[in-house]
Amino acid sequence: MKTIKLALATLLVSNVSFATLMDPSFTEGSQFGRELSVRAKHAKELMGGRYRKSIVKVTEKVGEMDDMVFDLVEKRLPEKYKSQSEAVAQTIIEQAQKYSFDPVFLMAVIANESSFNPEVVGTSGEIGLMQILPKTAKWFAKKADLGMGRITDKTLRNPVKNIQIGAAYMAYLRGEFDAHGQLYLAAYNMGKVNVKRALARSIMPKDYAGHVMNRYINFYTEIRTLHNDQMLAAAERMISSKSSEAVVE
């Protein structure tokens, strides 16, 4: 392990591209800077004061986040849907960018709703990855002018379209509850009207939001592990390629 750590330190000094992967120092105007800003802002919105000392804060500057999303999606989709993993991951990334969400947040919602199984049907008739009720999808697609034409159960079984509808609906709820993460997550689960009724009785819905946020934290923990594994693998490759150089333990 000491050998790997020493090689990694050497690599970080000598290899600019890998150092960038480790801790990108892009400007705020760069694409990475903009994506990082969105992720960080949304994480703070979701976590409040807990963000500053969280695994999310520690991991936020990991480069190649899109690749991490692809890896995590492919790992979780059922075998018969793995051929669609690239399209599903790309949709998560695109919808996150469109609505200023952290893509890891959308993955956490999907994991909580369906465990990434597009064929899941809920006890109340919710369908697909983001468990959307057909009547809600039809109403919202028309209200938001999503341009999908007639919404059917088949539409919701399509992983890409399901995420597009679900992310847009979450963004709508976010606006309805002034970007209060606990409330718009609760509304996604129990409906906007029911959340407002609960608040009128001084009841703060929290169970569903707590489940999603646990998955959010778990995803970031996994991303951190994947990132560290990549760094160690790169260090090992460097050791192998420079076997003629002496490495002091």
Q: Give all domains of the chain, ordered by start, each with its CATH number.
A: 2-241 (1.10.530.10)
User: Considering the chain, what is the average pLDDT of its residues?
Assistant: 87
pLDDT of residue 123: 95
Mean pLDDT for 99-104 is: 97
> 34 pLDDT band (50/70/90 cuts)?
confident
Give Cα 127 distance to the centre of its chain.
20
> 242 pLDDT band (50/70/90 cuts)?
low
Residues of the chain with pLDDT > 70, as a percent, come to 84
pLDDT of residue 19: 38
Angle 64-68-72 (CA atoms, 0-180°, nearest 5)?
170
> Has residue 193 got a pLDDT over 50?
yes
CB atoms within 10 A of CB 181: 21
pLDDT of residue 244: 53
> Taking a C-beta distance cutoff of 8 angstroms, is the pair 174, 192 a contact?
no
> Taking a C-beta distance cutoff of 8 angstroms, is the pair 206, 186 a contact?
yes
For the chain, give percent helix, strand, coil, nearest 5: 70, 0, 25
Ranges 118-132, 163-177, 221-235: which has the least confidence: 221-235
> 12 pLDDT band (50/70/90 cuts)?
very low
> Has residue 10 got a pLDDT over 70?
no
Mean pLDDT for 11-19 is: 39
Give Cα 90 distance to the centre of its chain.
11
b/e sequence 98-121, b meaning 16+ C-beta within 10 Å: ebebbbbbbbbbbbbbbebbbeee
Taking only the tens place, the pLDDT of each residue in 195-241 is: 999 999 999 999 999 999 999 999 999 999 988 887 777 766 777 76
Instruction: Name the one residue in this structure whose structure tokens are 């050998």.
Output: 3
> Has residue 243 got a pLDDT over 80?
no
For residue 241 the two structure tokens come to 């390629």
Q: Tell me how far apart the alpha carbons of residues 42 and 23 are, in angstroms, rounded to a whole number.
A: 20
> Has residue 23 got a pLDDT over 80?
no
> Has residue 71 got a pLDDT over 90?
yes
Dump strand ranges (E) for the chain: none
Taking only the tens place, the pLDDT of each residue in 139-159 is: 999 999 999 999 999 999 999
Residue predicted with more confidence, 227 or 99 = 99
